[in-house]
Structure 1
Amino acid sequence: MEPFKRKDNLIVDQNLKPYLIDFGTAVINYDESSSLKKIVFNFLRKTDLNAWFKHKYKRSYENISNEDLVITHLLL
């Protein structure tokens, strides 16, 4: 199940910083040198952040802030 299909999986702190709470997507990394694990982790991170932006901007991507735009370009 995709974590962002449920808004209950998101919490926001007092500084409006979002946190994803979903242990179904948890990754345990015993071997930090594993290239495959890094690739999978980065893919899942990008997927989750893109879903967060979808919710944050209510699919109005033309309203995305410059700060968030920089983050999305760093993920490419």
Structure 2
Amino acid sequence: MSSNALLVQFGKRLTKLRESKGMNISEFAAHTGMSRGHLSELEHGKREPGLLTLQTIAAGLETSISKLLSGL
């Protein structure tokens, strides 16, 4: 799988998990302390998340990094 395809797949998973928690992107941004723009780029596969970003996202979704990335 190409890195671009992996980023797109991660972005789709992130969107699905966020929506399953009943949050829109603005609410999730406020919940995590991340910018809306940064989260939008991640959800659209336009930005590669670093380890600290993954940790912040996982905490915001009340899950682990391993569950966030499982199956990608």
Name which structure has the greater RCO, CA cutoff 8 Å, separation 6+.
Answer: 2
TM-score by length of 2: 0.40
The structure that is helix-richer by fraction is 2
The structure that is strand-richer by fraction is 1
TM-score by length of 1: 0.38
Larger Rg: 1
